[in-house]
Structure 1
Amino acid sequence: MPSFDIVSEINMEEVRNATENASRELTTRFDFRNVEASFEYKEKTVLMTAEAEFQLQQMESMFRGACAKRGVDTASIDVKPMDQHGKICRQTIAFKEGIEQPVAKKIVKLIKDAKMKVQTAIQGEELRITGKKRDDLQSVMQLVKEANLGQPFQFKNFRD
């Protein structure tokens, strides 16, 4: 029986490249001259530091642009609240990877409500979709792509 997996993965190497690109852009920007501001990639997160909150907002927009250029879906970006230590403001950007249980249940409910003739199974941080016809599986892919669930999904291991 045909099947495929729904996963949510991010290429962290591209995130590191986007961080370096944003850092390079930061050094060339006129509005960031003589300003203490930086991007730092740390274990699947990016730490932004600047002197003011509005600068962090500009840096976030620069980082999103760099991610888009590198092919990283910006829907997976999770910006944490800003914290201030004296004169320096910091903000952490994390990335949504894997499909969490509530989101997986939403996808299963979405598929069941569409009354498609497929079986869904939650397997850790991914979903396995199995059906008799390839067309049914392709319509499930289309349904998941169109549903705005707050994170990007990829489809892997398509088997006939």
Structure 2
Amino acid sequence: MASAFSFDIVSDFDRQELVNAIDQTMREVQSRYDLKDTNTTLELGESAITVNTDSEFTLQAVHTILQTKAAKRNLSLKIFDYGKIEPASGNRVRQEIKLQKGISAELGKQISKLIRDEFKKVQASIQGDAVRVSAKSKDELQAVIQRLKQEDYPVALQFTNYR
């Protein structure tokens, strides 16, 4: 039996599920009567989604559809960081939706401080864009996970590598 147990706190999403959600969104946009003739496009880049459509009204409708499809595929809506709505050529509008991935250094410090303050027998260390939490007891790690789930952080947290 190991002398110390650990897990990692990360902020990530399943890219294939996001691709599927975008495909379903495009299919619904092309089949819905009120959105059919808007020539709306969604382009998935490396770290952002670009939405190009004919008005802000249809942009809001596309947001709603995208959020619904993402939620059905167990993707957190916190991964979407909506940018500024910009005018595009031909009286159209464009918006870039950045995809949030990884825990920032500031948020990592905030999480590790919370763990240090509330759990004396648990160690937290920042490792790149993840936080490693270790303790001698699995029960203490479970308590840390439950406590972190109560907080509302600006990114979606996942708990991986539980050993």
Check whether TM > 0.5.
yes
State the secondary structure of the residue aligned to 2:84: coil
Structure 1 moving runs of 4+ over 6 Å = none
Structure 1 length-normalised TM:
0.94
Residue ranges of structure 2 left out of the alignment (5+ in a row): none
Matched, 1:104 2:133: no
Residue ranges of structure 1 left out of the alignment (5+ in a row): none
Matched, 1:117 2:121: yes
CA RMSD between the two structures: 1.2
| Cα deviation 1:53-76 (Å, max 9, x = unaligned) | 121111111111111112211122
Matched, 1:137 2:141: yes
> Hey, what's the Cα distance between the residues in 2 that align with 1:32 and 1:67?
19
- In percent, how many aligned pairs have the same letter? 33
How far the C-alpha of 1:157 sits from its partner, in A, is: 1.2
> Hey, what's the Cα distance between the residues in 2 that align with 1:116 and 1:13?
39
How far the C-alpha of 1:113 sits from its partner, in A, is: 2.7
Say if 2:115 and 2:123, in contact at 8 Å, map to a contact too. Answer: no
> Hey, what's the Cα distance between the residues in 2 that align with 1:43 and 1:6?
23
Q: Choose which of 9, 14, 34 in structure 2 pairs with 1:11.
A: 14
Specify the code of the residue in structure 2 equivalent to 1:129.
V
The count of aligned residue pairs is 159
Say if 1:9 and 1:154, in contact at 8 Å, map to a contact too. Answer: yes
